[in-house]
């Protein structure tokens, strides 16, 4: 599901969650502001939640 995220969201999510970079480091590497990094992470998480909920809903409906 992470691979399905929009590029910027996926990059920030991966760098922050998987690689352990700070928002300051991500901002510097991606040439964006720290606020943009934080916003992209929040949006990535929201997208992932929606994808997981959709997957759960579809699998629960198909199991009946």
Task: Give residue-wise pLDDT tens across range 16-39.
Answer: 999 999 999 999 999 999 999 999
The pTM (predicted TM-score) of the whole model is: 0.85
Q: What is the mean pLDDT of the chain?
A: 93
The predicted structure's pLDDT at residue 60: 82
Q: Which two tokens stand for residue 16?
A: 């922050």
The predicted structure's pLDDT at residue 63: 56
Distance of CA 15 to the CA centre of its chain: 10
According to DSSP, residue 31 is labeled T
Q: Which domains does the chain have, with CATH numbers?
A: 2-63 (1.10.10.10)
- The mean pLDDT value for 33-48 works out to 97
Q: What percent of the chain has pLDDT over 70?
A: 94
Q: CB atoms < 10 A from the CB of 8, how many?
A: 16
């Amino acid at each position: 599901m992470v691979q399905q995220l929009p590029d910027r969201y996926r990059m920030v999510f991966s760098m922050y969650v998987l690689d352990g970079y700070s928002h300051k480091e991500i901002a510097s590497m991606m040439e964006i502001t720290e606020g943009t990094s934080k916003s992209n992470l929040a949006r990535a998480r929201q997208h992932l939640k929606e994808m997981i909920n959709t997957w759960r809903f579809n699998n629960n409906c198909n199991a009946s």
